[in-house]
Structure 1
Amino acid sequence: MRKRVSLWSWLLLPGTVWMSIFFITSLLLVTALSFGTTDDLGTPHFGNSLSNWAEVFAPVYRTVILRSLGYAFITAVLCLLIAYPVAYAIARHGGRWKNALIAAIVVPFFANYLVRMYGWAVVLSDEGPLLGLARKLGAPDDWRILHTGFGVIAGLVYGFVVFMILPLYAAMERMDSAVIEAGRDLYGGPLRTFLFVTVPATRQGALAGLVLVFLPAMGDFVSAQFLGGPDQIMIGNLIQSKFFDGQNWPLGSALTMLLMIVLLIAMAGYLRRARKDEQEAWQ
């Protein structure tokens, strides 16, 4: 038994060392730098100033943070609405084609994220096929999607919807078909059965999907950069600009820490909900 424990300890050692050096150390450096200052040349220096933390709550930054929260929340909800019928159709009616259908959804997302956003920008552009079709159907000529909030959200949904489909599909695969049959006997129609049986039974998958979509969407900067305009920038764009364009690393570090705090709160809420659901399942 001791040999087995020792073996597992040695197997955990490389990952622990890697995380300690490249994650925890960098996190501590960013935390310390968030209290630092910059000189006239833009060189960062460690310190104990709270000016960066006070500045992140200035109206201009607060607007961007709230916009990022709103975009990430809307993206998560839209992904949930899109993923539920897709996952349900594959899990319950996919038959022997289930694996092929899941592969057809997942494989395109192996392409580089930047490449996919470039392609999405072409589709949503003023001369793209989507607006061309919309104008033929009667849409006004000045209507546009690119460089708007709708375009950014469309890019986020396209980029992260697969993270919602997979956990929902896994949750529906674990469902006993007899539960759905019993629900049909109790509630009658398929819609009521879906709402009162399938949705509660797959709540864990939905919560996991919401977290998996919300967390990266909150910190994403590629969609806002390629599909949005100056009025659609997100906190990820702010952080990027402070580190690379503005040469204000302490303020960028403070924004990074604020983003991590928001994401940790979301993650803690999910873990608490999941633990409560697990306890209720055992009672």
Structure 2
Amino acid sequence: MQTTELANWNQFMELTTQLDGWAFRGQQNAQWRLESSLSRYMRDFVGDRSQWRAREERAIRVFRRKAHNFLAHPNILADDLRCLALMQHHGAPTRLLDFTKSPFVAAFFALERATGDAVVYALNTPALWNNRARPKADPVLTRDVIDPRVPGHFERYFFCNTHEVLWSGEPTEMDDRLVAQSGTFVVPGVIDKPLQSILDGYESNEELLHQIVLPARIRMDAMKWLYRMNITNASLFPGLDGLARSIGVELEIVWSGMMQAQ
């Protein structure tokens, strides 16, 4: 994995222009591993890895048994990827990793609450989609073969936690938040390894993962640019919750600008 530590915000815009079609994920701490919320939860609270599959399956089963009480169309729970996306949307630990097709949305999520160096990861999804990158251990497991939107594929290729593969894409139907954020998901076949380690097992002539470190010193300049681009919590999280979450940036960006103007 190549790493670029930015000297300024303009360098981020120049670099991401070269990564056309890639997917991006922002994390507010450059030291955090690139892994799912489920991976972190299992590692921290379920020490016996032999139980991980049963625990994950039970969590999904419990959600399916109870979530129908709050849904206008509970039939979506039968679709594995849509069910996991719904769980993720409402804060449950899942194996999905949120990515976005917009490097600027990723930068916002990385920087909004960052107090030190943040990071944006860029994933070469075109290479994965077009099978220019394949797992060395089992090259027949291409993106189309393991597609979790196909009934039965989650059970066969993901819940077993034995296939070191990645799939990226969206459910067949996207909710408003996923649309607003230009969102996409990355689904790992194993949850005991970070994405970097899984990609190390892929064969490709292309770079598959690029780490872009955003030093704390460029945060204010970057946040001002993102604000001008209307990338805020209010635009990324449609509804009153997003508006309320956006007030922090309003305090930081707008009021500091007004004070300087006086």
Task: Please give the TM-score of this superposition, normalised by the length of structure 1.
Answer: 0.25
Q: Which has the higher helix share?
A: 1
Determine which structure has more spread, i.e. the larger CA radius of gyration: 1
Give me the TM-score of the superposition, normalised by structure 2: 0.27
